[in-house]
Amino acid sequence: MKFIVSSAYLLKQLQVLGGVINNSNTLPILDNFLFSLDGNSLKVSASDLETTMHAILEVESSDSGSIAIPARLLLDTLKTFPEQPLTFVVEENSTVEISANNGKYALAYADGAEFPNPVTLSNPSKTSILGDILATAISKTIFAAGNDDLRPVMSGVFFQFSTESLTFVATDAHKLVKYQRTDVQASQTAEFIMPKKPLNLLKGILAGSESEVTIEYNDSNAKFSFDQTELVCRLIDGKYPNYEAVIPKENPNVLTINRNLFLSSVRRIAIFSNKTTHQLKLKVAGAELNISAEDLDYSNKAEERLSCSYQGDDLQIGFNSRFLTEMLNNLNSDDISLAMSLPNRAGILTPSDGLDLGENVTMLVMPVMLNN
């Protein structure tokens, strides 16, 4: 078995696939890339059993066969090469020899048959979405997903597809983000919960991509196909909480303010907040917003006044500064609106501008009780 491939092209593909491989695997074979050669088409796969990803590369060859090559060793070697053709030759003594312009390198390989077989989806449903839209949907929501192993359904992103729109939701019970696209639809209604790891991989690959991504899914797995690449992952099992029930419907008090101004102020004031509660107090009256925090343990306190546009009754409400900062960071509008009803009800953060046609973002942040 022999093939020739460009070093930079191979490295670029392997670095993407390398994101699937865990630092410590229960099965030693999962520390390898699976190389399956069929003429001038080389399929390279990586897996951690939950998520499997493969890419098809064009190479010069007329052979066929499959071997598993140690991922870390191969990646470390490829990173040091300038762009050049590399010749891979599988030797009889269980080593694969890589010939470069000025050297030869031998790596031990394992039998490709030991590598776990990829999951095949039986009669899946199908939806297509532009790569960049999917990457945006992931990055706008994934930061709000939880990390609690006891509530696995909240540690992923909820995909809700319908014939009118695609909706992506993430929450950790303190904050919630709902990202919706009405300019993209599915052929039928479906719901599933995607784990974080494959989503982070997709986000990294698809940002700015003009390629169509085909999403196929059934009750237990989802498959994403684009540009000669496929990612298959196991879905999180369970029922997602009824998120619509926690979004307050009546929010008569609406504050509109410049996002960067508000974010800088929140960051500054947060330095003086209590290190356990991260509590900030927002006090709105007329066209003025007063942001304050104090840490009684160390007698630190700070307050700032900002001008804003406000409709509603005078209000004092407390928020966790870390959640507020995260949300403001994940919006890219010039102005934002914060709609509130009562000091013990969630605030709803929405961008006032900067959205594409058919794009909606709703962020919900739970208040913290003010200790007056």
Per residue in 215-239, pLDDT (tens digit) is 999 999 999 999 999 999 999 999 9
The model's pTM is 0.92
Q: Which of 332, 340, 335 is nearest to 365 (CA)?
A: 340
> Over 70: is that where the pLDDT of 60 sits?
yes
Section 357-361 average pLDDT: 93
Quick one: tokens of 353?
A: 């501008």
pLDDT score recorded for residue 372: 58
Residue 55 confidence (pLDDT): 97
Average pLDDT rounded to a whole number, residues 243-250: 92
Residue 236 CA neighbour count, 13 Å, CB half: 22
Q: What is the pLDDT of residue 7?
A: 97
Helix (H) or strand (E) run with residue 355 in it:
none
- Which domains does the chain carry? 2-114 (3.10.150.10), 125-244 (3.10.150.10), 247-368 (3.10.150.10)
Could you give the residue ranges of the DSSP H alpha helices within the chain?
A: 7-18, 71-78, 131-141, 196-206, 259-270, 321-329
pLDDT per residue as tens digits for the range 3-39: 999 999 999 999 999 999 999 988 999 999 999 999 9
Other CB atoms within a 10 A radius of the CB of residue 331 amount to 20
Q: How far are the Cα atoms of 28, 30, 51, 80, 115 from residue 112, in angstroms, in the given order?
A: 13, 11, 18, 26, 6
Query: What are 183's two structure tokens?
Result: 């300019």
Written as six digits, the tokens of 16 are 């993407």
Express each pLDDT in 270-318 by its tens digit. 999 999 999 999 999 999 999 999 998 899 999 999 999 999 999 999 9
Predicted local confidence at residue 92, as pLDDT: 86
Q: Strand locations in 204-324, DSSP E? A: 212-217, 221-226, 229-234, 253-258, 279-285, 288-295, 300-307, 309-311, 315-320
